[in-house]
Amino acid sequence: MSLFEKEITKLYYTIGEVAEMFDVNTSLIRFWEKEFSVIKPKKNKKGNRLFTTKDIENIRKIYHLVKEEGYTLEGAKSQLKSTKADVSDNQGIIEKLKAIKSELNKIHDRL
């Protein structure tokens, strides 16, 4: 089950949990953290990253732009700066459409 299908209920998530949500390696999350200033995980005394729901939302936006839309990192950075609200709105619509498609496929399979 992806992040898009799960309800976020915890205050903090480990890098492993975040990587699993997006089905990516933890190294990619660390890389994006360095590249995108909007990802600002807290660190505990051991230095482990603790991601907030806001961090996860920002990662979701980056994931959408880079992995689904094919943006370069620079293009994604530019897009995030210029249309923060639009990207979020579009992503929400896309996720709702994916959920509807999934339900329709289930109904189709039952027929």
pLDDT digit string (tens) for 39-86?
999 999 999 999 999 999 999 999 999 999 999 999 999 888 876 656
pTM of model > 0.95: no
Distance CA 68, CA 100 (A): 18
- Residue 22: CB atoms within 10 Å: 19
Average pLDDT over residues 96-100: 89
Q: Is residue 63 part of a domain?
A: yes
Domain that holds residue 34: 13-110
Residue 92 in this model has a pLDDT that exceeds 80: no
Say how many domains are in the chain.
1
User: Dihedral, CA atoms, 10, 26, 45, 12, nearest 10 degrees?
Assistant: -10
- Residue 26: CB atoms within 10 Å: 15
* CATH number, domain containing residue 99: 1.10.1660.10
Q: Is residue 99 part of a domain?
A: yes
Q: Is residue 43 part of a domain?
A: yes
Question: φ, ψ for residue 42 (rounded to 5)?
Answer: -80, 160
Q: Is residue 7 part of a domain?
A: no
Q: Is residue 4 part of a domain?
A: no
